[in-house]
DNA sequence: ATCATTTTGATCGTTTTTGATTGCTTTCAG
DNA sequence: CTGAAAGCAATCAAAAACGATCAAAATGAT
């Protein structure tokens, strides 16, 4: 693909495409992908910043968030970004084209949304996360179904009875769930009862359930238990073995992925 | 394939075909493919630029594709901005604190969302518009309820059976509806059947119904009829009397607001 | 075949683009 | 708080692309 030498305009267009697909990228990544020098990429980004909705950052650039309200949200997104991306790529490989997918919300789920768009998968996705749903519906083959309900400003997702009731009407092939904590004794846990109930419902109405969690979520026990650790679930994480003690034994199938590029 | 010599016209046509197929190409590539010299290709591109949707760039040419999504959306938001603001302020004065409000989607509705936040109203708002729901939930007293459903990327709103079913569960004090067209004979009309059905539902499940429309929507008849013009509805618009002919007579209560400060 | 016209490819001076170099600033770990 | 490391802007020379010009080649009409 990136064999030939592109014209400057094509390169800039490609940068824009990459930034949109992944919400952001480092200069290093762009250099490698477009086989250009950092100086050139920097010049391109400077130029694009003035005529496209992107924002230069240290070491790269990201899509300009429409509203300043999303500021700290974007910050959270960049935490453990490499691990989340690695998890996302793995999870996407589990998704069959044409299937129906449940996803809850969170920055790891958002990373999966980006990966789905990048992979150009044709799927039906139901989610309570506003940002995930809009991301998926923007110029992709995904049919994105937003579960209705009360919008919580903290997470940009819906919650409550409406959300659960609507989820109850949908049957899926796979549920992808990012919990707040994974604990050897308590299993999959959440901070909010609504989130826990929704996760439970999504899981029972899907043929398969995949739990995704960055290392820092493991061995954490939050307020509400949603599901026990069971052989029916797969846990995809980038954590090292030291953070996994007791989890396998408690019954869950663990899929570790390497975070180093 | 590798014809000996093409006529100039054939060559230009071929260039256009290549550019369309690949979205853009470098002069070097075109030279090789069409076995012509750079000078010739350049002349061709110069000529084509004036009579085809292509754009010359350094080193080649690209298809001239107007950015589809974000540009025209942002553009629409700033269209008739003064009238929309004036309408919004008027409409907000109708909303009782503590009441339940239905709103559909559109840039006029978005203006109303801004006004509600500015007025610091404490209300419950149900809407299919993602941007409206998130705007309302961000740091305000509003409880914002997003109607679930399939996300349409064009309007950033949900639509379909899920949306209607969820709206059917909610009873409101006031429905604020921005239609695609208001016509003396056909009444309130929409481009999409889903939108029309939702508007209908919102209206019947509310004690009051307010139609908002900028001047350019008046006297327009779109594909689908939603509701007739009735005394039960109020139309808030900034249009002059010339655009209102026949509407009052058809039965709707018209509230004109001045657009000048 | 001859002449006028168009098209083409080459040349050359100018402009744009590019990647390396050089100090300066930001970031982050200790 | 300090120092190393990474990122950055500025500068510069080489390379690539450009536009203009012109003569050769192709085309078409007489």
Q: Provide the pLDDT for residue B70.
A: 46
Chain A, window 162-201: residues with a beta carbon less than 8 angstroms from a chain B beta carbon: 162-163, 166, 169
**DSSP letter at B147?**
P
Q: Provide the pLDDT for residue A68.
A: 45
Measured between CB atoms, which of B24, B69, B134 is closest to A9? Answer: B24
Of residues A181, A187, A238, A235, the one with CA closest to residue A209: A235
> How many whole angstroms separate alpha carbon A162 and alpha carbon B255?
35
- Residue-averaged pLDDT of chain A: 89
In this prediction the pTM is 0.72
**Residues whose CB falls within 8 Å of the CB of residue B188, separated by 6 or more in sequence, listed in order:** B177, B179, B181, B182, B199, B211, B225, B226, B227, B228, B229, B233
Q: Is pLDDT larger for residue B154 or for residue A145? A: A145
Chain B hits for A11, Cβ within 8 Å? none
Q: Which nucleotide is nearest to B34 (CA to C1')?
A: C8
Q: Which nucleotide is nearest to A41 (CA to C1')?
A: C18
As a rounded value in angstroms, the CA-to-C1' distance for B105 and C1 is 77
**Residues whose CB falls within 8 Å of the CB of residue B161, separated by 6 or more in sequence, listed in order:** B149
Structural domains in chain A plus CATH codes: 8-66 (1.10.10.10), 79-256 (3.40.50.1360)
Residue of B nearest to A64 (CA): B70
| CA terminus-to-terminus distance, chain B | 67
- What percentage of chain A has pLDDT greater than the value 90? 70
Calculated CA dihedral for residues B15, B21, B24, B28, nearest 10 degrees: -50
**Spatial strand order in the sheet of B253-256:** A157-159, A149-152, B143-146, B124-127, B100-103, B172-177, B206-212, B233-237, B253-256
Say how many CB pairs under 8 Å bridge A and B: 110
Q: Give yes or no for residue A74 having a pLDDT over 90.
A: no
pLDDT by residue for chain B (261 residues), tens only, comes to: 434 567 889 999 999 999 988 889 999 999 999 999 999 999 999 999 988 889 999 999 999 865 444 445 555 666 788 899 999 999 999 999 999 999 999 999 999 999 999 999 999 999 999 999 998 998 789 999 999 999 998 778 999 999 999 999 999 999 999 999 999 999 999 999 999 999 999 999 999 999 999 999 999 999 999 999 999 999 999 998 999 999 999 999 999 987 654
Q: Provide the pLDDT for residue B8.
A: 87
A151 and B133 within 8 Å at the Cβ level: the answer is yes
Residues of B 41-80 whose CB lies less than 7 Å from any atom of strand C: 43, 58
Q: Provide the pLDDT for residue A23.
A: 75
Q: Give yes or no for residue A174 having a pLDDT over 90.
A: yes
**Closest residue (CA to C1') to nucleotide C8 in the complex:** B40
As a rounded value in angstroms, the CA-to-C1' distance for B24 and D25 is 31
Residue of B nearest to A11 (CA): B24
Q: State the nearest Cα–Cα gap between B83 and chain A, in angstroms.
A: 23
Q: Give yes or no for residue A103 having a pLDDT over 60.
A: yes
As a rounded value in angstroms, the CA-to-C1' distance for B36 and C1 is 30
Taking residue B78's Cβ as centre, other Cβ atoms within 10 Å add up to 9
A4-33 pLDDT per residue, tens: 679 999 999 999 988 877 778 999 999 999
Q: Provide the pLDDT for residue A24.
A: 86
């Amino acid at each position: 693909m990136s064999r030939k030498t592109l014209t400057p305009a094509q390169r800039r267009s490609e940068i824009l495409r990459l930034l949109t697909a992944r919400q952001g990228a480092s200069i290093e990544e762009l250099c490698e992908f477009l086989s250009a020098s950092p100086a050139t990429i920097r010049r391109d980004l400077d130029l694009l910043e003035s005529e496209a909705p992107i924002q230069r950052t240290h070491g790269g650039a990201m899509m300009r968030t429409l509203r300043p309200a999303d500021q700290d949200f974007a910050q959270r997104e960049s935490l453990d970004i490499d691990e989340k991306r690695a998890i996302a790529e793995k999870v996407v490989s589990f998704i069959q084209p044409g299937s129906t997918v449940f996803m809850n919300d969170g920055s790891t789920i958002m990373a999966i949304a980006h990966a789905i768009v990048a992979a150009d998968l044709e799927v039906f996705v139901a989610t309570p996360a506003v940002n995930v749903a809009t991301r998926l519906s923007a110029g992709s083959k995904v049919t994105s179904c937003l579960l209705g309900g009360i919008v919580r400003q903290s997470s940009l997702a819906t919650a409550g009875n409406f959300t659960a009731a609507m989820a109850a009407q949908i049957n899926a092939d796979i549920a992808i769930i990012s919990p707040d904590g994974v604990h050897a004794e308590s299993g999959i846990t959440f901070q909010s009862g609504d989130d826990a109930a929704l996760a439970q419902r999504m899981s029972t109405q899907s043929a398969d359930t995949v739990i995704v969690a960055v290392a820092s979520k493991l061995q954490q026990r939050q307020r509400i238990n949603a599901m026990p650790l069971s052989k029916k679930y797969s846990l995809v994480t980038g954590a090292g073995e030291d953070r996994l003690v007791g989890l396998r034994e408690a019954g869950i199938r663990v899929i570790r992925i390497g975070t180093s590029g």
